[in-house]
Amino acid sequence: MVATQTHGHHSKPHAGHGPESELVGLLAEFEDQDALIDACEQARLSGYKKFDAYSPFPVHGIDQAMGTRRTMLPFFVLAIAFGGVALGVGMQWYANIASFSPIFPGYDFIISGKPLWSLPANIPVSFEVIVLSSAFATFFGMWFLNRLPRLANPLHRIERFKRATDDRFFLMIEKNDKQFSAEQTLDQMQQWGASAVEPVKLDLTDHKIPLSLRRAGLVLGLLLLVPPAMIYRAQHATNPAPRLHFMPDMDWQYRFGAQNVGPIWYDNREPKYFFQDKTVMRLPPEGTIGRGALTTDIELFRGIKAGTKIPDPTLVPQPAPAVAGQAPAAPVLPLEPEWVTAFPAALTVDQSMVERGRDRFNIYCTVCHGYAGDGNGLVNERALELAISSPIQKGATSNAVWTKAKSLYDPTVTIQPVGRIFDTITHGRSTMGPYGSQISTRDRWAIVLYVKSLQAARAKEPPLVTPAVPVATPAADAAPAKDAPGSSIPASDETANKSDSPATDSKGN
Amino acid sequence: MRHKREAKITSPVISLGDDSYRLMSIAAFVGLLGIGAALLISLFLGENGGFKRFSYGYLVNFCFFATISLGALFFVTVQHLTRAGWSVTVRRIAEILAAAIIPLFVLFLPILLPTIMGYGGLYVWNDDGWTTSYAGHTLTAMEKLKGFYLSGGFFGVRSIVCFVVWSLMAWFFVGNSFRQDASGDVNITARMQKYSAPLMILFALTLVVAAFDWEMSLSPMWFSTMFPVCFFSGCVLGGASTIALVALLLQRSGRVTDEITIDNIQDLGKLMLAFIVFWGYVEFCQYMLIWYANIPEETFWFKYRFANSGWRTLTIILLVGHLFIPFLFLLPRTLKRSRPFMIGATIYVLAMHWLDHVWVIMPQFGFDGKDTAPFVLGLPELLCFVGLGGLFVSAFCFIASDRALVPLKDPRLGEALNYTNT
């Protein structure tokens, strides 16, 4: 049980065998461990190589007596343990910060204010993985080196050998050892103090797995398919039953909403509050501005020249709503502030900003204004179509109204200073909705730059920004298109669809 | 034919003999000289000096040698508790080291007496002006509890109880072992085994009290229930290393050459390896919990050990030098079976154990009560080491005198002599 097992060869059990079967080796029984150690030493000194010792407990010193080489298992375990460290640390690293992964991304959860990746939190798991992998490596490495598991061993057919797990010590010398000779080995064993010597015969019993076990195995294998089948079914079925709540106190937590007022707990029915004003959290001190929320740069955030007078917005008269298909009513020009005519100093006007503007423009603006800015986006075209063909529209009462999206090359637009275009994007104009809440300030400016670039390209003016490598804008590619009314969709729409944006889906909205 | 060794002592020299008296007087002289020099230098140091500095240096080294002695006492108790056979030949050295806890009681007086008399330089809780406040907040709930527990008188009572328990334990195990040398009575072993279990429980309880009192109460507003476990891991590590070192040095001087086999040394090496890892494990347990909870009352203790570059360097030295390096060199079997190597290894591990106590105690010296402590380590600590080390060696020689350094008639002597390691 201590040393490596050198085992005899297996020969096939032949049919029609007699009681005589092939000799595998000789088994000597000893009364105590010292006799076994002595016998092992004698066997080694006599030149035997293929022998093994069996004892009920580990016997110190038997390795040297048998001449067993030191096992390589520790190095094997060490290597696996280092692998375990790498696995444990890597697993946590991946789970905690690998949100970049396109499939199976990590979590990026900040837990109790700790950094996403901090070693102290990862040491316990890494340590446990080392212990687990080392234990497995030791246990299964021992199996592997001892060529375990074996289903049968001829020794197990010997009645006497059963005491190897109780109070007897055994030494077996195999027949295929070069030194082995049945008579001489028997003599030697008796000289070494064996209390009994017994021949070990090849086990001739049928070593096929019994039919009952095979059937049980088949049934078990089939049963193992049940859980995956249930999982598959569950994934493709709708369950009307409400979900189970394993931890109701986590699903429905006792907590306060931000800025609520109320007692934190009751002490003998007397309400207790955190703060004197009974709120559950403190209000920020007056005048607090969050990080990145300082909007004092009026040129950047409003598009208005610094130091100029800003008219009271409540006095701004609202323009009359335009009706589709008709010439817009003469606009009542509001009292406007003084818009900036150049990009605010806080911005770096360069090619990457143009690209950013194109990107944002294609996402937010093209649906109405079209990719080239001709005011012929798909939504616009479809809405006009509906508005014209709508029976309601033809009747007296009309609520299907659509104001045609403006072409960005309209002279009323091209003359606008950048600040005003920025303001239009931010707050909306006429029936155009405000985008200030959806698009960040710098992105809005980028869109303004892109719009200005489109206009410059159409007017064959020098570009506002000289690209390092000439970049073909859609407007430059497009054949100069007229302000298209509803009927002349094709030409400009084709140009629009040529551009690199994802196919615009015009159904629905 | 393989020969089984008889349960008989075969070494020509098995005791210190007359050398013990010579060594005892030299060591005692060096020791007293060292302590005197440490006291003098501390008093003349000025800013970082005074009796306070001497007390700190003395406490570091007292804890170092006391943990060695307590580790040896644990070793002796656990051998009886497990009815171990392998360790019989090295058990006598452990017994002598354990018995040194009795003279160490006398050496504890320079800490105990000033504290009882109300000196608050070492333990701030003993200072009249000290209150249970930290960083502007007063822990009123602690006021009564700490006021009761951390008082000079009760500290003295606890210390005396601890030392009495340990002394009785040592006296019981060592006295019986010496008696067995003469009589060979097997019943003595049976009796020691019987009492080892309750004594082990007493040992654990008193060790916890000692760890809280001696070291943790230096920072009375800091709580860590892991602290006694860390202290204990240091005890066993120091004990096992010192037993191995003493055994190896005795063999170099031509004593007990036959009885203490390389297998014994290897096993002590295994024990050292185990407690190197255990030390790292429990120290990290303590650090991890405090790091994770991130409560200011607890984190400040680590903060001022990390803030100052000197203490931070020492922290890293301990992490690498007390855990990783000895783990690597104590792992291979061949190194643990080399006597010259193990002498170096035990000295190295003991040096790290000393630094461990420095790391726990010394940052408290200049702690400003908030989050910084200047790096203070120098001659007074080293001189105290020489002083207490000399007195410790002297105590060892006094107890050993011309007694046998292996149990002569232990019933498991044969088992130990024939023990082989895998």
Distance CA A457, CA B371 (A): 65
Q: Is the pLDDT of residue A331 over 60?
A: no
Q: How far is CA A377 from the centre of its chain?
A: 38
Using CA atoms, how far apart are residues A14 and A26, in angstroms rounded to an integer? 22
A254's tokens: 């006792």
Instruction: Find the helix or strand (DSSP H, E) in which A51 lies.
Output: strand A51-54
B5: nearest CA partner in chain A: A34
Angle between helices B262-293 and B339-361 (to 10 degrees): 30
The average pLDDT across A25-46 equals 92
Partner-chain contact B287 A61, CB within 8 Å: no
Instruction: Report the amino acid identity of residue B29.
Output: F
Taking an 8 Å cut-off on Cβ atoms, the answer to whether A112 and B294 are in contact is yes
CA of B421, closest CA in chain A: separation in Å? 6
Q: Residue A55: is its pLDDT beyond 80?
A: yes
Identify all chain B residues contacting A63, using CB atoms and an 8 Å cutoff: 422
Q: Which residues of B touch A113 (CB under 8 A)?
A: 294
**For residues A425 and A447, is the Cβ–Cβ distance under 8 A?**
yes
Highest mean predicted confidence (pLDDT) among A109-118, A329-338, A377-386, B71-80? B71-80
Shortest distance, CA A453 to any CA of chain B (angstroms): 55
- Collect all residues of chain A within an 8 Å Cβ-Cβ radius of residue B1: 38, 41-42
CA atoms of B231 and B306, how far apart (whole Å): 20
Nearest to B422 among A34, A37, A60 (CB): A60
Min Cα–Cα distance to chain A from B234, Å: 21
DSSP notation for B56-89:
HHHHHHHHHHHHHHHHHHHHHHHHHHTT-STTHH
| Mean pLDDT to the nearest integer, A218-241 | 91
Inform me whether the C-beta atom of residue B2 falls under 8 Å from chain A C-beta atoms: yes
A459-469 average pLDDT score: 74
Using a pLDDT cut of 70, give the percent of chain A over it. Answer: 81
Average predicted confidence (pLDDT) for chain A: 80
Structural contact between residues A3 and A69, judged by C-beta atoms closer than 8 angstroms: no
A327-335: average pLDDT: 56
| Tokens 């629009």 -> residue | A496
The pLDDT, as a whole number, for residue B135 is 53
Are the C-beta atoms of residues A406 and A455 closer than 8 Å to each other?
no
Structure confidence at residue A10 (pLDDT)? 43
Task: Tell me what ipTM this predicted complex has.
Answer: 0.79
Q: Using a CB-CB distance cutoff of 8 angstroms, which residues of chain A are in contact with residue B335?
A: none
B2: chain A residues, CB-CB within 8 Å: 37-38, 41, 65
The helix/strand/coil state of A105 is coil
Asked if pLDDT for residue A121 goes beyond 90, the answer is: no
Instruction: Give the span between the Cα atoms of A38 and A44, in whole angstroms.
Output: 10
Q: Supply the DSSP symbol for A310.
A: P
The answer to whether A29 and A169 have CB atoms below 8 angstroms apart is yes
- Give the containing element (helix H, strand E) for B133: strand B133-134
Residue A53 has φ and ψ, to the nearest 5°, of -115, 145
Residue A29: other Cβ atoms inside 10 A: 22
Q: Rounded CA gap, A40 and A66, in Å?
A: 5
B1 close to A (CB below 8 A) = yes
Full strand arrangement of the beta sheet holding A51-54: A51-54, A169-174, A23-30, A196-201
- Whether the CB-CB separation of A39 and A28 falls below 8 Å is answered with yes
CB contact under 8 A, A37 and B2: yes
Cβ atoms of B238 and B71 within 8 Å: the answer is yes
| Helix/strand/coil for A322 | coil
Which residue of chain B is at minimal alpha-carbon distance from A193?
A: B1
How many beta-carbon contacts under 8 Å exist across A and B? 31
**A191 Cα to chain B: minimum distance (Å):** 12
By Cβ distance, the residue of B281, B287, B420 closest to A120 is: B287
Q: Which residues contact B121 (CB under 8 A, 6 or more apart)?
A: B50, B51, B52, B55, B114, B127
Residues on chain B touching A112 (C-beta within 8 angstroms): 292, 294
Per residue in A161-206, pLDDT tens? 999 999 999 999 999 999 898 889 999 999 999 999 999 988 777 7
pLDDT category of residue A48 using cuts at 50, 70 and 90: very high
Q: Is B419 on the interface with A (CB under 8 A)?
A: yes
Q: For residue B289, which residues of chain A lie inside 8 Å, CB to CB?
A: none
For every one of its 422 residues, what pLDDT tens digit does chain B have, with 9 covering 90 and above? 456 788 888 888 888 888 899 999 999 999 999 999 999 999 988 788 889 999 999 999 999 999 999 999 999 999 999 999 999 999 999 999 999 999 999 999 999 999 999 898 899 888 877 777 665 566 676 777 777 788 889 999 999 999 999 999 999 999 999 999 999 899 999 999 999 999 999 999 999 999 999 999 998 888 899 999 999 999 999 999 999 999 999 999 999 988 999 999 999 999 999 999 999 999 999 999 999 888 888 888 998 899 889 999 999 999 999 999 999 999 999 999 999 999 999 999 999 999 999 999 999 998 877 778 899 999 999 999 999 999 999 999 999 988 999 999 999 999 899 888 76
Q: Kindly identify which residue of chain B lies nearest to residue A60, measuring between CA atoms.
A: B420
pLDDT at A332: 52
Higher pLDDT, A379 or B352: B352
Q: Looking at residue B64, what is its pLDDT?
A: 97
Binary contact (B2, A41; C-beta < 8 A): yes
Residue A473 has pLDDT above 70, yes or no: no
- pTM as predicted: 0.67
- Using CA atoms, how far residue A385 sits from A305, A493, B3, B50, in Å, is 41, 15, 110, 97
pLDDT in tens, A246-290: 888 888 887 777 778 877 778 888 888 878 888 888 888 888 888
Provide the pLDDT for residue A3.
42
Nearest to B422 among A63, A114, A127 (CB): A63
| Structure confidence at residue B117 (pLDDT) | 92
Whether residue B419 and residue A60 make contact (CB cut-off 8 A), yes or no, is yes
Which of B2, B4, B284 comes nearest A123 by C-beta? B284
Task: Report strand pairing: A169-174 vs A51-54.
Answer: antiparallel
Q: Which residue of A has its CA nearest to B290?
A: A120
Q: Do A113 and B294 touch (CB under 8 A)?
A: yes
CA atoms within 13 A on the CB side of A394: 6
Contact A442, A360 (CB under 8 A): no
- CA-angle at A141, arms to A140 and A145, nearest 5°: 120
Q: Do A51 and A43 meet the contact criterion of CB atoms below 8 Å apart? A: yes
- Rounded CA separation B195/B176 (Å): 12
Please give the Cα distance from B317 to B323 (Å, whole number): 9
Average pLDDT for residues A9-24, to the nearest whole number? 55
A-proximal residues of B, 267-306, CB under 8 Å: 281, 284, 287-288, 291-292, 294
pLDDT at B221: 82
pLDDT digit string, tens, across residues A341-367: 999 988 999 999 999 999 999 999 999
Chain A positions in Cβ-Cβ contact with residue B262 (cut-off 8 Å): none
Quick check: A64 and B420 CB within 8 A?
yes
Q: How confident is the model at residue A474 (pLDDT cuts 50, 70, 90)?
A: very low
* Start-to-end C-alpha separation, chain A: 79
In the prediction, which pLDDT does B3 show?
61
- The pLDDT of residue A494: 38
Give the pLDDT score at A69. Answer: 86
CB contact under 8 A, B292 and A112: yes
Residues of chain A positioned with their CB less than 8 A from the CB of B294 = 112-113
Q: Which residues contact B189 (CB under 8 A, 6 or more apart)?
A: B80, B180, B410, B411, B412
Distance CA A132, CA A173 (A): 37
Residue tagged 């911005």 (tokens): A347
Chain B residues with beta carbon closer than 8 angstroms to that of A61: 420
CB B95 within 8 A of CB B101: no
Show the beta-strand stretches assigned E in A85-160.
none
Among A41, A60, A110, A130, most B C-beta atoms within 10 A, so best to mutate, is A60
Q: Is B149 on the interface with A (CB under 8 A)?
A: no
Q: Which residues of A touch B (CB under 8 A)?
A: 34, 37-38, 41-42, 58, 60-61, 63-65, 112-114, 120-121, 123-124, 127
**A60: chain B residues, CB-CB within 8 Å:** 419-422
Rounded CA-CA distance B194/B191 in Å is: 5
